[in-house]
Copies of this chain bind each other. A is one copy, B any other.
């Protein structure tokens, strides 16, 4: 129903393009200053259809950012079994270092992200959803003595490090590679938690 056929593939492409148009508007006029009517007009579709593509403005931004729960889960499963959990999580998060696109645009998006409260909140929520994707594998690695709480604590702490690193990266205008910051953050927790 959804993934096969020329139909849905072109539709996905169309939706993606609408998203790009919207992002351009956000970066030009600001997130909160851009209305759904603006986006619909710029994209040449009706307001109603826009709502069908993206339920909220926040969804538009979120869908344009890297990080897929399933991908991360698979990446963690692929790490060697004897690697300590904390190191494994670091290595997995290092993979989403980058959006692949141009730096300046990514930085502007990040600034918007950290500047608009509702966006920041949605980003946190999205990261939180990774928790459920990673839980089984982390529990397995932690051993039988650990339950959901222990695994959840470790995962959310790791994600918290990612958020902290991302915030500093943004504040420093991308001067230091996110990977370095992330490693430093993980090390800091390693040092402090003992």
- How many copies of the chain does the oligomer comprise? 2
A128 in the interface (beta carbon within 8 A): yes
Within 8 A of B (CB), among A131-151: 142, 146, 148-151
* Interface residue range, chain A: 35 or more
Contact of A168 among B120, B152, B163, B184 (CB under 8 A): B152
A193 CB-CB contact with B under 8 Å: yes
A117 CB-CB contact with B under 8 Å: yes
Question: Which chain B residue shows the least CB distance to A149?
Answer: B168
* A160 CA to B151 CA, complexed, in Å: 12
Q: How far is the CB of A31 from chain B (nearest CB, A)?
A: 16
* A154 and B192 contact, CB distance less than 8 A: yes
Extra inter-chain contacts (17) besides given A124-B128, A153-B185, CB under 8 Å: A86-B194, A149-B164, A149-B181, A149-B184, A150-B185, A150-B187, A150-B188, A153-B160, A153-B164, A153-B184, A154-B189, A154-B192, A154-B193, A156-B160, A156-B164, A157-B157, A194-B194
